[in-house]
Amino acid sequence: MSLARSGGRVQPARPGDPRRVDTYRIIGRLGSGGMGTVHAGLDPAGLRVAVKVVHPAHAEDPEFRARFRREVQLSARVQGPCLIPLLAADPDARTPWLATAYAPGLTLDRHLAVHGPLSGGTLYAFATGTARALAAIHAAGVVHRDVKPQNVILTPCGPRVLDFGIAHAADGTSVTRTGVMTGTPGWISPEHYRTGTAGPEGDLFAWGALVAYAATGRLPFGTGAPDVVAYRVMSGDPGLDGLPEELRGTVVRALAKNPGERMTADAAAQECARLLDAQATVVLTADAGPGATSADLLVSDGWSVPDAEDRAWRTPAASTRKRALMAAVAAAAAGAAVAGGIVAFDTGDRGAAGTGPRSAVGSTPLHGGPSSVPAGAVTASPVDARTVRVPTDPLAGVPDPAYTRSGDETQPQPGEWRTSTTAADPREREAERSIRDRMAAVLATKDMDFMKPTVTFNLRAQTVIVTGGPVPQLPDHYREVFRRAGEMAACTALAHRLGNAPATWPYGRFSVYWKTSDGDVDAAAIGYGTATDGCFTEIAGQWRGDESGMATAEIPSSDKAEIRVADATAKAVAATWNTAAAETNEAPLGAADGITLGFDPVENAAYVWTDDPNDRFASRASQSNLKHAVEEAVCRRLTAEFHSNRSWNYTRWAVAVYNPYTHGRQFLGSGTCTP
């Protein structure tokens, strides 16, 4: 079930349709399918959203719930250009649902049927935008697996790739049933037909077919019975007549039969951006202004599709700031790998956490980390820095802030890192010190304080930049912790300063880069986001554990207090379970049941997990009992330590168990303890 099967046109609500889903007012339907219904909704501010609600019959199926929960987790961790951001979700509700930004427009196949093939700047912008979307998906460790015309919407602002219903994580955890061929004939790679392999290379194969189809209006491997199409995909040459010569080489490499001969999505995006740049150089007028050939501006300026506005949407007039936010959402949330995303960005974040989502609507969470009181604050009595809240919307109600890029979620532009400078005034130096101190505290708990961050500033981009490396032979998961720590430290520092001095503090964006050598002239961006949408992983205002936090928690701690509390808390979980065993009729827990606890210092959370070696937690009842035991025991221990140890920052918890359907871990619950 896609979030845009109706071409974005609002259909009347039907008897039995909900009037509200959580905070969203339902005004009609956008489409429906075998899995559920997609409703047209309005958030409390009047912004348009698409709300996917699962059919009640599927809600009773534990396997479906596990797959839907995985869809939510993956959708939240995947954030980037030309994607549709997840706004909120509740996979554990009686009737599971999720909400995304609304993207007006026709799907590619419908657009071609009505208006014909894409051409000129629109075609090059399509190729660039969709490749960039796939690059963001793959950077989050996710494979789409269903790239096809029905899953690309042509909005007035550019193409949008959607539908992660059968996506899976690159680590192999899948949301589909074992043994079932996923994908659509004609958009399945040769290796997937032969061996069932579905990796990033398969997405690129489908992307090449997608670009050819957009340019010609013909399916590159023709039509017919599925087995006939499969034979052509595995053995035949694609039909590329009508494809512009400049694009042909890129598309041919994407359609190589051998996946090892295909380029990456990022490389395809760069090649198409260069072609788009050349195209724009010819068509842009002299008064287009400086910077008019940057990738984002080119996609926007080169794009031209008919307006898809639907008068059936009736929304109140939005403020200038909300209109800017709507435009930014329509333009797609780019990268917030930022802590502050919904379930994850990492993996992500996504959370991204990244991060991001990429933020869900929500209240301000506890800061929960080493920090100083925001610059300029005056207090009459000592303040516990651990209770200072991070503003989730520090510019709310500010008429003319110094930071002017709120809602702009475009990726870092080439040259931003190279042209950044060291702190130039006391305020920048104080912000640098805050970010470095926060990162040092986080990294030290994992014995990673050998990774020393450099903090620089790019005033023109209104971006604070955190750089790490080079560190020879550094494991990937260490760099991932550095990325998450850098994003969180920068996000919280900037959010405080935006909230405290909105009229004078100009920085609201942050980027994290990694150098591979001391002589790097352009380090690689590994994360970025904005401090105006919240810094913590939330859904509907509640903190949620995610895979990126779990991955960090699995790295052994080097902090003595964490080691002590982890050991005591794991025992307390078992003791709490065993105390309730007489009422729950559960067998006692022992050491062989594999209850493990670790800490994520980035979001100040304790993670409890088990790979369930004795198959103790397969039933809903057992999972519910484990969740309650964890919440009670962990919050009791964390709260006691919080009050007795002034340096203790952990106030959040999450619990996960092995899921035999996904062959990965399934989150049972998470939340925030009240100190």
Distance CA 78, CA 73 (A): 9
Active-site hit among 43, 61, 109, 146: 146
Note every long-range contact of 191-196, with CB atoms under 8 Å and residues 24 or more positions apart, other chains counting: 191/259, 193/230, 193/233, 193/234, 194/234
- Name the strands in the sheet holding 36-42, side by side, starting at the edge strand that comes first in the sequence: 20-21, 24-32, 36-42, 48-54, 97-101, 86-90
Active site residue 146: yes
- Beta bridge partners, 41, equal 26, 49
Distance CA 112, CA 122 (A): 13
Helix pair 120-139, 265-283: axis angle to 10 deg: 150
Handedness of CA 63, 73, 110, 208 (dihedral sign): negative
Radius of gyration of the chain (CA): 25
Residue 613 CB neighbours (<10 A): 10
Which helix (H) or strand (E) covers residue 527, if one does? Answer: strand 524-530
Amino acid letter, 26: I
Which helix (H) or strand (E) covers residue 467, if one does? Answer: strand 463-468
State how far the alpha carbon of 127 is from the alpha carbons of 91, 119, 248, in Å.
Answer: 34, 11, 12
Cα-flanking dihedrals φ and ψ of residue 141, to 5°?
A: 80, 25
Residue 442 near residue 488, CB atoms below 8 Å: yes
State how far the alpha carbon of 654 is from the alpha carbons of 212, 574, 657, in Å.
Answer: 45, 16, 11
Distance CA 393, CA 364 (A): 9
Distance CA 657, CA 550 (A): 12
Question: In the numeric block, which tokens belong to residue 560?
Answer: 């003595």
3-state secondary structure of 431: helix
State how far the alpha carbon of 637 is from the alpha carbons of 126, 569, 600, 630, in Å.
Answer: 53, 6, 16, 10
309-330 as b/e: b if 16+ CB within 10 A:
ebeebeeeeeeebeebbbebbb
Q: How far apart are the first and last CA of the chain?
A: 42
* Residues involved in catalysis: 146
